[in-house]
Structure 1
Amino acid sequence: LAFSSISHLGWMTVIISYNPKLTLLNFYLYTLMTATVFLAMNSIKVLNLSTLMT
């Protein structure tokens, strides 16, 4: 998710000059989705990718 976050931040910097409200909405939704993924992985005790395959 690190590459995705960096890429997302790049798009946000481009969009912020055109529509700041859309950028904030996009940031909030992305943060919500990313936090959900991390909390789900934490709740099932995923420490590495091989844990997801079992």
Structure 2
Amino acid sequence: MPKAIAAFLKDHLEIHLDLKVGNRQEIVSGLRSASFDFAIMGPPTWGSCGYLRSDL
């Protein structure tokens, strides 16, 4: 994902990006209150919740 964001910003110099990290509740709350306009959400990284690839 970082490469995709970097490529997008390279083509759209007029856009300002602030990265924020939060849990789902914080992200949804921020979107609802218009604290930010866009969010990329996904599952936690492997291993951070006890999930392993062999669990799939």
Q: TM-score, normalised by structure 2?
A: 0.36
Q: TM-score, normalised by structure 1?
A: 0.37
